A and B are shown apart, each in its own frame.
Chain A
Amino acid sequence: MKKKHFILILVIILIISLLIFIKPIRIITGFVSRIGQLQIGNSPPAVDIIYLNDQEATDIATDLIINPTANTTTSVIVKAKITDNNGNCNLFTANNATAYFCPGTGPCNSDTATHIVFMNYDSDDGQWGENNIYCNMTGTSENFQFYEINGTWKVNVTLTDGFSYGYLTKNWTYNELRSFTYPPSGNTVNMGVLTLGMWNNGTAGDLIQNSGNIVLDLMWNATDFIGQSKGQIINITGTNNTYIIDDDPESPDDTNNIPEAYINQTQKHFNPSSGLLKCQNVACNNENATMNVYWHINIPLGLSDDIYTNTIEIESLDHSG
């Protein structure tokens, strides 16, 4: 083989080797750009904690007990700690958060609620943490009546950011309140002008009213009347049975619903057979939530004119049904 051919073959092998083992080198000029893109979806707001009158509501109803107030209202202020990961919680208004108060242990929502309160971002006590992620929202003061159902209640705070909802439901207790009012106005039960030697009808009609949230039975007793200056006694326990409580002004006739009762030192039951029921509204005009009380007295002849005093005791017990 000629030297010339040998070199040629060598060059060919070299070129083939280069083609096989060496990747081609390309020279690229210029540049390309790409836009980075990600999408942050709306994060639903969350209700973290509910407070009623600054006490935290939990799953255990008796952890938070609110007392009713006799014959009037008790204000309840709801407050909630919320989280909005989108950082808009400082923009929430009364359109965003609602608190529902529902008696009982069933579902609590707009259909079952007996009290509905709109809640606002509280500019004084609203922001905590950074970036408007954590906020407080506070409701307007809501009045609960004395006669509302005692026992377990639910409170549900539902929050929306306009796109999605968050909510939290907790339990609390509206406490039992035993109370009655007698007489309804002033502090005088007027026995009026009395005539000696006969039954005095139509004296002293006054209402007694249940002013709590428990149905009551009432037990009555009284002591003899004693003249303040001359010491004479009107004996109400004598054979004449001279002292009657009634729900009508007629005596000794008994014309109305509740049988009249002779009152003496021994306790006597006197109230509607249903018990003195709870009021169902502020006017308390539902049947048997109030009761007329008339005192009839048969003052014997021979008593001096004087001012006579005694003690009347009224004891309430839970209605025995």
Chain B
Amino acid sequence: MIKITTAYDRIFVVIIIVLSFNFSAVKAIGVTRPIPYDIELMRGESANFVFEIQAITSPDKIICSYSANNLEPLIIKFDQKEVRIEPGKIQKIYGQVTVPNDAPYGTYSGTISVSCGALTEEGGSGSVVKTTIGGSPFNVKVVEFREGEIKTVTIPETKKSYLGIIIIITLLIIVIGVYYYFKSKKKS
């Protein structure tokens, strides 16, 4: 049996504690190269592209943001700033590249980067692992005269929200109803 006799000993008692380091890991995300990835554009023109963020093996819902790198002065816009992806799902991210009118001619070789983290409940414990997948090549050639048609993809239309229309129709019905109510009351 170990005898603890001095304060020095007390300090160096091996204190064993259990630290629960549960990592809320992204586990795996995959990022595909944008399609199309070699785009030829003239000044003032735009083209759409799409890539996938795959949360196929992620056990948790994840939140991802993305950016384009080394493509200045080209203007890159994404359809959403960030996206939340359910476990096991694949999310398509659409973007648009636009060539400003004063952009120098030449080939712009950039990359798309995607950063994702697991969405955990508030107050959850452990270490959060964030994953960044960088380096997906994306090339845009700015030319004076383009050969062939612009390579682009069609961005699917988002589902129209009929909520506004329903509210307007409901209000109209109420207004008409109130009008006839007071009219009939006045007659009587």
Contacts and interface: CB of A to CB of B under 8 A. Distances in A.
B180 interface: no
B62 to A, nearest CB: 11
Contact of B28 (A65, A182, A204, A318): A182
Nearest to B117: A311
Contacts of A11: none
Nearest to A315: B132
A257 interface: no
A69 B90 contact: yes
B118 A187 contact: yes
Contact of A175 (B27, B35, B90): B35
Interface in B8-33: 11-12, 14-25, 27-33
A312 B23 contact: yes
A193 B17 CA distance: 7
Interface stretch (B53-61, B77-85, B166-174): B53-61
Interface string A164-196: 000000000001111111110011111101111
* Chain A contact residues, majority secondary structure: loop
Contacts of A312: 23, 127-130
A197 interface: yes
B67 interface: no
Contacts of B133: 178-179, 315-316
Given A178-B30, A316-B133, A308 B19 contact: yes
B131 A65 contact: no
A237 to B, nearest CB: 16
Contact of A188 (B23, B52, B132): B23
A179 B59 contact: no
A194 B135 contact: no
B54 A179 contact: yes
Interface size classification for chain A: 35 or more
A67 B123 CA distance: 37
Contacts of B32: 67-68, 175-177
Contacts of A191: 19-21
A317 interface: yes
A62 B49 CA distance: 13
A30 B52 CA distance: 86
A307 interface: yes
A189 B125 contact: no
B130 A70 contact: no
B30 A69 contact: yes
Given A179-B54, A307-B19, A314 B31 contact: no
Interface of B: 11-12, 14-25, 27-33, 35-38, 52, 54, 56-57, 59-60, 90, 118, 123, 125-137, 151
Given A178-B30, A311-B127, 14 more contacts: A62-B38, A146-B30, A176-B32, A181-B27, A187-B59, A193-B18, A194-B18, A196-B17, A211-B30, A211-B57, A307-B20, A307-B125, A313-B130, A313-B132
